[in-house]
Amino acid sequence: MNGHLILLLHAHLPYVRHPEYEYSLEENWLFEAIRETYIPMLDTLEGMVNDGISPNLTLSISPTLTEMLNDSLLRNRFIRYMDNLIELSEAEKKRTARSAFEPLASLYNTMFKQIKKLYLDRYKQDLVSAFRNLQDEGHIEIVASAATHAFLPVFENYLDAVKAQIEIGVKSYIHNFGRQPSGFWLPECGYFKGIDSLLKDVGIRYFFVESHGIIHGSPMPVYSIYKPVMSPTGIMVFGRDFKSAQQVWCASRGYPGDPSYRDFYRDIGFDLPLDYISRFTHLNMRTFTGIKYYRITGNTEYKLPYNRVNAMKTALEHAMHFIGSRESDIKRLLEFDFCPVIFSAFDAELFGHWWFEGIEWLNIMIRKIHQSSSVLDIITPGRYFSEHANFNDIQSIKLSPSSWGEGGYSSIWIGQRNHQFYRHLHKMIERMEILKNLATDHRLPATMMQRAINQAMREMLLAQASDWLFLIQKGRASEYAEYRIKKHVENFNSLFSMIMKGNLEEPLLRSMEESNNFLKDKIPMANSLLSF
């Protein structure tokens, strides 16, 4: 008997698209993630497959992210973004000639060119299909998530809104990945009593919660978080392992904070003159370029130059340490005469973006487990259930309300800085119910009425994104986050007022449809719900 590791990477970004601007700082969030995380991850996973290793990685890819990856405007802007970075790295090669940083400038230049080549030649600008192909071939498993990554517990008293987030998320998944999803990632692991019933209604077989969602459940779980439990509605639930999470995620005590790794914040976009940087970024402000010459060094402003060879040696050491820790956990758990499963989950963007060496760490770790571990294998939830088909011994538990993140009980998304927005978010839901009942009203032409109600639904869903509330509470890009919520509320209220008066300004509606075109042409009104 051996044990299993389920490794889930949650890929998500908020929906950001600004056709009204030639260059947008916030669109770079997507471009950075494509360059540093999604393409390197695909390349790494495909490399394993080519070497006869099935990575068995589990991914969740949010609907907002899939829509942005599929958007032609953003695809073209990503190519332009890469061209600008290649040009910047060429300039850096000249500027750093005969200095200690010249090899790093050349490294970035090579990386940028390779990323662009992969995007155009191998993936044909279609990363969603590349992930879909890996799933179709049985090498990864992709689970669904909510439509716009809303933190669902804050809408517990508005179950129709929660249902809409879940149903649209599942339909988006089916549209993009060509199959019914078995699993579901609750945004921010936000669980409240009864949400499992809504998941069951759309055919979900399992979902995931933070560790204390199970540990504080009733009755006490016999196997803690090391075996899935069954919710009252009969859906399987995995609890996130806090020990492995801390080893990988924690910047102060985990692997990414090691002094030999590259320092994320020391970017030439902040170190070099703005007039030099802006020639390539086309933004008259400081921003990250991805070109970083220093290692973390320690808790000091004085940073030592980054050494790629030493960083890779450290990544190997950390991969072996992670494997050793999980093997030790499995051996200890096997003494209790059951087959343990460790569920470890992280934001996908940690790997490659925040933690530059994270993709290499992942590659080494998965390959080493495949090649040499005798007590541990990586498994997807689907494989786990197919290999453990007898669920008679699965314990039924009433789960505890919970979330991941600071505090573990929703405080990040219902905090001192962001709580005032909920009266507006809740009012939009109440008004949306009024609009749904007007879907067949003749105060506007049928086509115009459908467009207007659809766009109101989009504005409501986009305003609900957990990202804006997180950024406001943490004080990061808070001005933009506040702007986004307020703009979606303003758009919704304008549409609501015009529909109620029967006097719609079509140019204004068209402008909203162009800017906030989430699931455009895929969501006609049906059964009082946006659906495919």
- Is 257 known to sit in a ligand binding site? yes
Angle at 253 between CA 247 and CA 254, to 5 degrees: 35
Catalytic (active site) residue 188: yes
CA dihedral 118, 37, 381, 330 (to 10 degrees): 120
Q: C-alpha 135: how far from its chain's center?
A: 18
User: Strands 341-347, 229-230: parallel, antiparallel or unpaired by DSSP?
Assistant: unpaired
State the catalytic residue, choosing from 347, 441, 482, 513.
347
Determine whether 244 is exposed, middle or buried from the number of CB atoms within 10 Å of its CB (0-12, 13-18, 19+): buried
Q: Report which of 77, 113, 93, 446 is spatially closest to residue 281, judged by C-alpha positions.
A: 77
Catalytic (active site) residue 317: no
Give counts: helices (H), strands (E), the chain: 20, 11
Q: Which amino acid is at 158?
A: Y
Q: How far apart are CA 469 and CA 484, in angstroms?
A: 10
> 142 is written with which tokens?
């992709």
- At 11, is the secondary structure helix, strand, or coil? strand
Contact call for residues 143 and 58 (beta carbons, < 8 A): yes
- Is 240 known to sit in a ligand binding site? yes
> Which residues neighbour 276 within 8 Å (Cβ) at sequence distance 6 or greater?
none
Contact call for residues 355 and 362 (beta carbons, < 8 A): no
**DSSP labels, 123-162:** STT-HHHHHHHHHHTTSEEEEEE-TT-B-GGGGTT-HHHH
State the catalytic residue, choosing from 27, 32, 188, 210.
188
- Is 404 known to sit in a ligand binding site? yes
- As annotated, the active-site residues are 188, 347
Detail the residues annotated as belonging to a binding site for substrate.
Answer: 240, 257, 404, 467
Detail the residues annotated as belonging to a binding site.
Answer: 240, 257, 404, 467
